[in-house]
Structure 1
Amino acid sequence: MDYVIYFIMIFLGAAIPFIEYMVAIPIGVIVGLPLIPTIIFGFLGNLVTVLLLIVLVDKIRGFLRNKKEQQPRVPTEEEVDDANQEHEETFTADTSETQWHEDYTNKRREKARKLWDKYGLPGLAVIGTGLLSSHLTALMACTFGGNRTHVSIWMTISLILWSVITGVAVQLGMDTIFR
């Protein structure tokens, strides 16, 4: 009965972003829970919230795509002239700050795109999950244009891989320390 409560705690801990399997599985192993169920519950807790995030981002992308497809109202010539005149007046005051912000965001976007182009979805899923957060990696993969099904598959594979590596590494470390 005590194990059930611990496994529920491992599952819930792994579901929390930035704690995930990286903290939940080692805690379970250190507490003395059996290795394989600890890995499974840590993996499942993390996977559930990652899949929910992927579905949510996909729904938001679909909503924005549908909204973009709606025809905007075409402004009259007078409205265009008035807007251009107002833009010229405000543009001279904010040019340097606006330009810096656009350059900075464009550089970040270019770096992210280069990583995506170099490693693709499999590389991003495996490397990102191991180094960063699985939730952040899934969000990046979805926003870079990854297909929901492919992102889900690669994130599942990556989570299995990193959960097993983490669990086994902590178990071996515990065995070495307490031998």
Structure 2
Amino acid sequence: MIFVGGTIPFIEYMLAIPAGIIAGVPTIPVIIFGFAGNLIGVILLIWLFDYVLAIRRKRKNQNKPDMDNYTPKSKRAQKAKKLWDKYGIPGLTFFGTGLLSSHATALMACSFGGNRAYISIWMVISLAIWSIITGVAVHFGMDVFFR
């Protein structure tokens, strides 16, 4: 159940890990399964986006999309673009995964023109860090709360 919850956008590790720990499942397996479920969903999304983009480029006979002059319309996308310009893929994946959603962050990184392998590596690192932080915080928070 935790694994499946981790794959669902906007539920992800942020709700799957706390729900598992509150339900009484041991913390380490919860963190591992929440991380793994989220990671599989995000990696599939990155590779699917890249595949669709490759088909689109092939149809338009373009070599590479022009993302240098891209201006996002929503405030959330503008903040993500600002993070992208300032910190690149590592900053966007770390801050975006912690503050927004890992699925939305992966889509933004892909749409800003990032390399799928590089995005995937940084998403693994970011998801691992945030899953551990969430699991440890909920574990010790529950321990303090129920003492």
Place the TM-score, normalised by the shorter chain, in its bin.
0.7 to 0.9
Q: Does 1:166 align with 2:134?
A: yes
1:49 positional shift: 0.6
- Farther off after superposition, 105-114 or 52-61: 105-114
Runs of 4+ in 1 over 2 A off after TM superposition: 105-115
Structure with the bigger percentage of helix: 1
- Asked if structure 1 preserves the Cα contact closer than 8 Å seen for 2:14 and 2:134, the reply is yes
The whole-number CA distance in structure 1 between the counterparts of 2:31 and 2:5 is 12
- Asked if structure 1 preserves the Cα contact closer than 8 Å seen for 2:72 and 2:81, the reply is no
Deviations 1:92-143 (A, max 9, x none): xxxxxxxxxxxxx946389354331101100000000000000000000011
Aligned counterpart, 1:55: 47
Counterpart pick for 1:27 among 19, 30, 42:
19
Aligned counterpart, 1:5: none
Aligned counterpart, 2:66: none
Deviations 1:39-77 (A, max 9, x none): 00000000001000000000011011111118xxxxxxx
Q: Does 1:134 align with 2:102?
A: yes
Aligned counterpart, 2:60: 68
What amino acid is the match of 1:14? Answer: G
Q: Cα gap change, 1:140/1:107 in structure 2, threshold over 3 Å: closer, same or farther?
A: closer
| Unmatched 5+ stretches in structure 2 | 63-69
| Unmatched 5+ stretches in structure 1 | 1-8, 71-104
Larger Rg: 1
What amino acid is the match of 1:17? Answer: P
Aligned counterpart, 1:157: 125
The whole-number CA distance in structure 1 between the counterparts of 2:23 and 2:84 is 38
| Alignment TM-score, normalising by the size of structure 2 | 0.88
Q: Does 1:18 align with 2:10?
A: yes
How many aligned positions are there?
Answer: 137
| Alignment TM-score, normalising by the size of structure 1 | 0.73
Deviations 1:143-165 (A, max 9, x none): 10110100000000000000000
The whole-number CA distance in structure 2 between the counterparts of 1:113 and 1:35 is 35
SS of 1:32's partner is: coil
